[in-house]
A and B are shown apart, each in its own frame.
Chain A
Amino acid sequence: MSISNIFETSKRSLLNHQSAINTTAKNIANVYTDGYTRRTFDLSNLSLGFGNMSEDSISRVKNQFLDNQIWYENQALGKESMSEMLMKQVETVFGEPDDSGLASIMTEFWNSWSGLANNPESDSARSLVRDKGILLSNTFNRLDKNLKNLQRQTGIEIQQKVNEINQLVTQLGTINKHIDSHRSDDLMDQRDVLLSELSSKIDIQVTENPSGTVEVLAGGHILISENYTNQLKINMTQNNNGLFHSDIKTTQGDKSIVVKSGELGGLLEFHNIHVSSYMNSMNESAVSLANEVNKVHAQGFNLTGLSGLNFFKNTISGAGDFSLSAEILSDSSLIATSSESDVNGDNTTAQAIAELQYDELINGRSVLDNYNSLIADVGNRVQEATFIRQNQGKIVQQLQIQKASITGVSLDEEMTQLIQFEQAYGAAARMISTVDELMQTILSIG
């Protein structure tokens, strides 16, 4: 063994420790960087004296299981956060309890009939009934419009969400290609951040290939693979009651994707299912209220001795076109109160209409209770979504903390290592000067 060998070993030691210090520096620099995975420097082969500083010695600390867990739980978190937000908006649309809420206005409407029954001869009591009827119509119309607006807005939001997803897919596809040709820790960090973002938007399944590239499936269809990406598009249809239905399809292949979770899943569920179920329930209330009132009203006689008039429009299909009949709208004195012609003091009809408020007109429930249940149902959904969102948030939080525990940078650790490496570096330098002295000694022999 020659002395120059010691030179060589010491040089490698110097360079290696320099590299290690560089890794530490990078770790410290990224102590708070989101998605940064701590790098470790492998010094093991150095002990053999054949160590070679190369990128292979630096590796990303990684826990695939945790990542997959986070991506999975993120989907439910995304969905419930979205549902919570949307349901709260529905709650705001109904605005209960408030004097301008439908429940209060409906009660006032029934009360106005009861008031008219006290004064069946009166014109002013009639115009009060008409005014309350108009108020009720306006409230039904407003709720209908606001719910439809909300649905239209979610349609736009779905489009935006799909755009975001497509953008992420494109980015991930690009990263995949780079990783395929040249494995890079930085790119993999970036990839994981993007995957985490993607998983909060749509339910995906991720598999990592040995080469470091990922394959991403959504609804059983490939979105991203080693050298292929597919985009999503929306197929929106409008049905005859003015409501929309949106489906997600792949751009290539035109395959339908069932999105169950993620923010997009929450949006779709709300857009396609919840809005129409609330609309249906409200329409049910509107239609049966109008029909039943009309039925009784048409049998009654008004001050001019006429009968057979409708109080509400005859052809109401829901809350959207809820309105008074043209006759009543133009002349409130045509409102019928009496069961007999030309008997002004008879209030039988007015009272019968006021009593409709208790009649179980819809599935064994009064109109008001049907509406009350709708509001309670909205409340239930908000509560449920909030509960799951909070729980899910805690799960994701816990997983992220676990991940941060493994892949995050600990300053204490890095500083300790820095001192270690610094000392080793100093020692190696000392080795060189010692070898130099040895060489001098040898050279002075001659």
Chain B
Amino acid sequence: MRITQSMITKSLLSSINQNRESMHSIQGSITTGKEVDRSSDDPIKFFRANRFRQSIKQNEQYLENVQNAKGWLQTTSSNLDSMLSQVMTLRERAVQSANDTLSAENRLQMASEINHILEDLVNMANESFLNKNLFSGTKTKVDNPFVYDGNSIEYQGNTGKINRRISENLTININVTGQDILDTNIFNAALDLRIALENDDTNEIANTIDSIDTASEKMISLNTSIGSIQQQLELAEDRLETANLNLTTFLSETEDVDLASAITQYNSEEMAYQAALQSTANILRLNIMDFLR
């Protein structure tokens, strides 16, 4: 093959350029820390990385949903707890007043105490979380879900369920509706007790003890179901956190550059580049003129 001057220049320049180009691309991934920084770096990996990124964001929202639900459930549960302890007091008073030694006057006094307890229970059932009624179904903004006018209790809410989505394919119900509380019959039991005390009717008082017991059992079972939902949420939270940890790792494995190998590669490219420059300088200097007189 004839070797000509322009040919030498052309091939030297192109190999130096190639060196430059690969150095540039490795340098780019070292500085960004990403092997896949844009779609064209590796479309398949990029697509996957994008999915990971979006899943992480979605999971973050689910985590927020879970945390929001946890707050709601905690308040619900502690309210139910306080209601339960009032129910216990109610039962104690009922047992006390069933005792024959009490006078009618004593029972009348007791009746007003029971009325206070009943008002307390109603107040607790009217409690809210972040300005939303806990126990009014989905009518979370009515003034008071339960209205006690001294004679009867009226429920203003509905039986609507409040749901939270805690993963792509799982929603859970997080509310105890006022109807659920009404169904325990707790308010009526208290009301009956008060009326029985006012009427000084010991037989009826004894009867209410039974209905209070049934009511408290139902209350406990409501609270238990809240507890199991809380547990479910804890599990979901753990799962979401683990998932995001894994996703972050996958994301990093997919798009981050392996610095050690990138730097090694860069060094070898740099060496090749220097060698090319060195040889270019030597070859271009080489000339027949030096050897002619």
Interface, chain A (partner B; CB < 8 A):
31-32, 38, 87-88, 91, 94, 96-97, 103-104, 107-108, 110-111, 114-115, 117-119, 121, 338, 340, 342-348, 351, 354-355, 357-358, 368-369, 372-373, 375-383, 386, 397, 400-401, 404-406, 408-413, 415-416, 419
Given A107-B58, A345-B137, A372-B51, do A404 and B7 touch, yes or no (CB 8 Å)? Answer: yes
Residue B5 contacts which of A97, A343, A410 (CB distance < 8 angstroms)?
A: A410
Given A103-B50, A108-B57, A372-B50, do A115 and B40 touch, yes or no (CB 8 Å)? Answer: no
Q: Is there contact, CB below 8 Å, between B40 and A91?
A: yes
Q: Is there contact, CB below 8 Å, between A354 and B165?
A: yes
Residue B4 contacts which of A96, A386, A409 (CB distance < 8 angstroms)?
A: A409
| Interface size range of chain B in the complex | 35 or more
Residue A346 contacts which of B38, B40, B43, B138 (CB distance < 8 angstroms)?
A: B138
Given A345-B141, A347-B163, A379-B38, do A111 and B61 touch, yes or no (CB 8 Å)? Answer: yes
Q: Is B221 an interface residue (CB 8 A)?
A: no
Residue A397 contacts which of B10, B43, B133 (CB distance < 8 angstroms)?
A: B10
Q: Is there contact, CB below 8 Å, between A376 and B39?
A: yes
Residue B289 contacts which of A114, A381, A400, A415 (CB distance < 8 angstroms)?
A: A415
Given A378-B39, A386-B40, do A345 and B132 touch, yes or no (CB 8 Å)? Answer: yes
27 sampled A-B residue pairs with Cβ under 8 A:
A32-B9, A96-B39, A97-B46, A103-B53, A107-B54, A107-B57, A110-B61, A117-B164, A118-B65, A118-B164, A338-B138, A343-B139, A344-B140, A345-B140, A346-B162, A354-B165, A378-B40, A380-B39, A383-B41, A386-B40, A400-B10, A408-B7, A409-B4, A410-B3, A410-B4, A410-B5, A419-B292
The chain B residue sitting closest to A373, CB to CB, is: B47
Q: Is there contact, CB below 8 Å, between B163 and A376?
A: no
Q: Is there contact, CB below 8 Å, between B39 and A91?
A: yes
A-B pairs with CB below 8 Å: how many? 171
**B11-32: which have CB < 8 Å to A?**
11, 14
Q: Is B88 an interface residue (CB 8 A)?
A: no
Contacts of B57 in A (CB 8 A): 104, 107-108, 111
3 A-B pairs with least C-beta separation: A379-B39, A345-B140, A408-B4
C-alpha spacing A368/B168, complex, angstroms: 15
B252 to chain A, nearest CB (A): 13
B183 to chain A, nearest CB (A): 19
C-alpha spacing A83/B140, complex, angstroms: 59
Q: Is B136 an interface residue (CB 8 A)?
A: yes
Contacts of B49 in A (CB 8 A): 97
Q: Is B278 an interface residue (CB 8 A)?
A: no
Most buried by A among B9, B50, B60, B137: B50
Contacts of A378 in B (CB 8 A): 39-40
C-alpha spacing A344/B64, complex, angstroms: 21
The chain A residue sitting closest to B13, CB to CB, is: A397
C-alpha spacing A375/B61, complex, angstroms: 24
Residue A118 contacts which of B2, B11, B68, B287 (CB distance < 8 angstroms)?
A: B68
Contacts of A108 in B (CB 8 A): 57
The chain B residue sitting closest to A394, CB to CB, is: B14
Given A103-B50, A111-B57, A115-B61, do A404 and B39 touch, yes or no (CB 8 Å)? Answer: no
C-alpha spacing A408/B138, complex, angstroms: 88
Q: Is B259 an interface residue (CB 8 A)?
A: no
Q: Is there contact, CB below 8 Å, between B41 and A379?
A: yes
Given A96-B50, A115-B64, A347-B163, do A408 and B11 touch, yes or no (CB 8 Å)? Answer: no
Contacts of B138 in A (CB 8 A): 338, 340, 343-347
B186 to chain A, nearest CB (A): 23
The chain A residue sitting closest to B21, CB to CB, is: A390
Q: Is B281 an interface residue (CB 8 A)?
A: no
Q: Is there contact, CB below 8 Å, between A409 and B6?
A: yes
Contacts of A404 in B (CB 8 A): 4, 6-7, 10
Q: Is there contact, CB below 8 Å, between B47 and A376?
A: yes
The chain B residue sitting closest to A84, CB to CB, is: B40
Q: Is B260 an interface residue (CB 8 A)?
A: no
Contacts of A117 in B (CB 8 A): 65, 164-165
C-alpha spacing A380/B54, complex, angstroms: 21
C-alpha spacing A215/B43, complex, angstroms: 43
Q: Is there contact, CB below 8 Å, between B54 and A406?
A: no
Contacts of A346 in B (CB 8 A): 138, 160, 162
C-alpha spacing A263/B289, complex, angstroms: 43
Q: Is there contact, CB below 8 Å, between B40 and A88?
A: yes
Contacts of B53 in A (CB 8 A): 97, 103-104
Contacts of A416 in B (CB 8 A): 288
B243 to chain A, nearest CB (A): 16
Q: Is B158 an interface residue (CB 8 A)?
A: yes
Question: What would 17 more interface pairs be, CB under 8 Å, given A103-B54, A368-B54, A386-B40?
Answer: A32-B9, A96-B46, A103-B50, A114-B62, A115-B61, A117-B165, A118-B68, A119-B130, A343-B138, A372-B47, A375-B39, A376-B39, A376-B44, A383-B41, A405-B1, A408-B2, A411-B5
C-alpha spacing A401/B44, complex, angstroms: 37
